[in-house]
Structure 1
């Protein structure tokens, strides 16, 4: 295990800046995810850590040692690729043993390590199977075993679940997290899937256009995103535009048409500023529950009700702006006509003002 420190790291391809001056410290034993849309620089960052891409600027330290110029084979880093990269002409045993044979380790040590790795990933008994005889999840486990058998200090995973179907992805993300926890290995995980990042990570770095937008725990990222990009990329939010009517201590009043909304204040805002208030749909209360949030109790016109299985989705009109609520499905979708007036509310601390 080791701490990974990226300092002023940048990568340029010709005239394209793929990674733009990022600095992160990843603690020993941490499960750290790099999350963002395609082309944001997260996989390029991972490949620079592994040594598959040269850095243009900056340095990479692992365990206090600068490895920026070290070849990949000297970095003691394991890399699990998106497509698994399993050799189809080798059985499971030989796939896992491949890296150890390149190092010319004694046969008895290779055998002991391979069998230990097979046990770690729950694949004992599959030694003689070939790629075509394995499911997607089993191939993923073999790819992990092939990395773990080399006893790396750092584990890197690049979109490892993207090729799996939804149910298998759900199963594998919990399995990978439990495996990482049991091994205690420092892990950096790249994904564009916010659900994976929120479920698996100790901390998350949200990337956009080569830059780090925010680093924090899953709760930090979801509950208090720092700006509009993170707010919109992580989950769904209502984004309501209003003007600051007053600032009183740690709360402020926003006017949205004829409605006055109470919200936590943000440093630097002042009366008459136009701001954006964000509220997660699951924090918006409907009907009788709305009266438990008197600071922001409204009566609005209901425009749509959608059945979503475990949740019912309500869409209301707030002075020409869309307000969405998602509430647990207890009795099924209510039969409401369009333009029905409905009580709506949310707690003051359920909203936050985002940087514009």
Structure 2
């Protein structure tokens, strides 16, 4: 664009006045440079060629600016485009209806008014854009570099970037109230129930209820991808998808959580059989194993498969709690906290009523009691 503008501007004489001059010679209230006589600059060039050059100059600049990262210039570009388009339209309309009444000098004046404004404004925008580009931070397009940058952040830096994140010590530990199976306090202290946005949790890993492509979708899957940013999708594209019941791990990028563990739940529209039940059990088990293998101490689960995949929420809660309980019986020293993160009030009530069946307290206490984590 700079070369194109320079070629146009080298043909222009020194401005003779300021303000646009109409065909009849009336000066319009516009503050900007124009030229009143371009006969020496136009030479043998036709009037339409000069207007086309102005239009081409505007189109090239508009394409560059609208496709750049400098979104805050788009407003100025849009206004300039409307002005230039309006000027060109008025010129062509007038030239087609009153050509016989124009003097050679008048035609030059109108043509150069359009050309002068387009070239002058484009040169100004070009200079401003180049200066702004020099001040714009480098945009990271390599997901591996972005992942390293995010994982190397300090806790303070991550909190400053992720406004409204929920620290682990603000999530109360579940206190079971009715013993139904054998109590085990060391296991109970590893469980939390949290109602809210899973993308706000400031923990080691959150689980994504993904589809097989791992490239984003609706519900919690879409929310995690939107919050994490485009680098999450770039890393997921290198994983060759994920089968039902499997789990794959990526960085968390712009999330408060350091990692995302992706799993694909079973589709259960036709009802729940052993196939769907075992597949959902594999989702929870493989996510927990992935967390332990990567030395992650805190992990949060959404309600896997209970949305558009049609798994009945009550049956899904039983599978989730039973799988997590059995895993913690064997590996409770490997994890500090497993959080069941729900969004709907109905899901919260299902967990509240069923957690005591799998994580009963050693001694009955008043319902609703909770304590903050000391971790």
Does the pair score TM above 0.5? no
The answer to which structure has the higher helix fraction is 2
TM-score calculated relative to the size of structure 2: 0.27
Q: Which has the higher contact order (CA 8 A, sep 6+)?
A: 2
Larger radius of gyration: 2
